[in-house]
């Protein structure tokens, strides 16, 4: 079955150029949108009134998560820290990757179990398979959930919290697991989809309330909407060539925000940015880190 091609009416919502925009996260309390610029490195906030705030980080940053306390959990190459958004001060929570060479924390998200799930990217050239996925508790304790990866990415959960989706951007596959929201335990992996370069390579992701998985196709300017059994049903052709991750937001969770990265390749000369457009099906809210 062929996919439906959609050309959304997208608007740019960030004035300041990004190097590698990632990890957009909607704050339902304030109407702010938080995200990271991996290479700046920085935490970025697009406030509800349009103001933009930048918090420079001391090391490369992979992702962030909102906390119950109002702080921001940030996954840096030096570990997971808690950031005070009033001062920008950082407090180390844990360092699950332990300073391993040729590795850095990458995509992450808080799961239905109240833990911060953070994966790593293998920085070896050429890549090996030293990538991992960690499960981090609010008290800083952590366990290793997966290994044998190259670029852990695309974390998202089904509306009922009983399925976890996960991709490997470098090995270009999407998999899912049965998930226990109480214990955070995973069932055996199910290989849902192997991507081609023409489908854009799977990057960051989000899920909607109908159970569909939205995956950024970073190589080809696409956002792929994928059914729970792994079929690409809709392809959103975006006005940015390097989309990195979507997230749902807005008062009704029907606004889709998408970060992108800087691309300068041949005829492409584009800065990283954030775009937004409206969709029909609302997104699955992302829990706060209970800390």
Question: Is 144 contained in some domain?
Answer: yes
Q: Rounded to an integer, what distance in angstroms lies between the CA atom of residue 73 and that of residue 155?
A: 16
Q: Is 106 annotated as a binding residue?
A: yes
- The two tokens of residue 115 are 């833990």
Q: Is the bond into 126 cis (omega within 30 degrees of 0)?
A: yes
203 marked among binding-site residues: yes
**Per-residue pLDDT at 38 exceeds 70:** yes
Structural domain includes residue 285: no
Annotated ligand binding at 224? The verdict is no
Q: Are 123 and 104 in contact (CB under 8 A)?
A: yes
Bond prior to 41 in cis (omega within 30° of 0) = yes
Annotated binding-site residue? 104:
yes
Can you give the CATH number for the domain in which 158 is found?
Answer: 2.120.10.30
Alpha carbons within 13 A on the beta-carbon side of 109: 27
Q: Is it the case that residue 219 has pLDDT exceeding 90?
A: no
Write out pLDDT tens, residues 154-167: 999 999 999 999 99
Q: Write out pLDDT tens, residues 124-180.
A: 999 999 999 999 999 999 999 999 999 999 999 999 999 999 999 999 999 999 999
109 CB neighbour count, 10 Å cutoff: 26
CA 270 centroid distance within chain: 21
Residue 161 lies in a domain: yes
Query: Which residues does the annotation mark as catalytic?
Result: 203
Q: For position 151, what pLDDT does the model report? A: 98
What's the pTM value of the predicted model, to 2 decimals? 0.97
CA distances from 220 to 76, 160, 193, 212, 216 (A): 27, 31, 17, 20, 9
Q: Which pLDDT score is estimated for 220?
A: 86
Considering only CA atoms, which of 11, 6, 7, 5 is closest in space to residue 273?
A: 11
Number of domains in the chain: 1
Host H or E run for residue 231: none
What domain range includes position 259? 4-278
The gap from C-alpha 251 to its chain's centroid, in whole angstroms, comes to 20
């Amino acid at each position: 079955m062929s996919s439906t091609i959609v050309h959304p009416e997208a608007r740019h919502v960030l004035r300041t150029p990004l190097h590698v925009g990632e990890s957009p996260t909607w704050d339902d309390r304030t109407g702010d949108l938080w995200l990271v610029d991996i290479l700046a490195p920085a935490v970025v906030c697009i406030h509800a009134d349009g103001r933009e705030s930048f918090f420079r980080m001391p090391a490369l940053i992979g992702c962030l998560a909102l906390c119950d306390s109002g702080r921001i959990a940030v996954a840096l190459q030096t570990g997971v820290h808690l950031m005070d958004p009033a001062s920008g001060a950082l407090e180390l929570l844990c360092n699950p990757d332990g300073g391993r060479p040729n590795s850095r924390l990458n995509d992450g998200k808080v799961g239905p179990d109240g833990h911060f799930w953070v994966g790593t990217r293998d920085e070896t050239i050429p890549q090996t398979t030293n990538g991992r996925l960690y499960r981090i508790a609010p008290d800083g304790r952590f366990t290793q959930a997966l290994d044998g990866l190259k670029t852990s990415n695309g974390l998202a959960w089904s509306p009922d919290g009983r399925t976890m989706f996960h991709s490997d951007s470098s090995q270009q596959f999407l998999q899912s697991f049965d998930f226990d929201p109480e214990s955070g335990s995973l069932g055996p992996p199910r290989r849902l989809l192997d991507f081609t370069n023409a489908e854009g390579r799977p990057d960051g992701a989000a899920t909607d309330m109908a159970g569909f998985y939205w995956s950024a196709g970073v190589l080809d300017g696409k956002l792929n909407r994928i059914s729970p059994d792994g079929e690409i049903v809709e392809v959103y052709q975006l006005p940015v060539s390097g989309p990195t991750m979507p997230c749902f937001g807005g008062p009704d969770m029907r606004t889709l925000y998408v970060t992108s990265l800087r691309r300068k390749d041949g005829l492409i000369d584009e800065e990283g940015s954030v775009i937004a457009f409206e969709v029909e099906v609302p997104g699955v809210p992302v829990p706060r880190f209970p800390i």
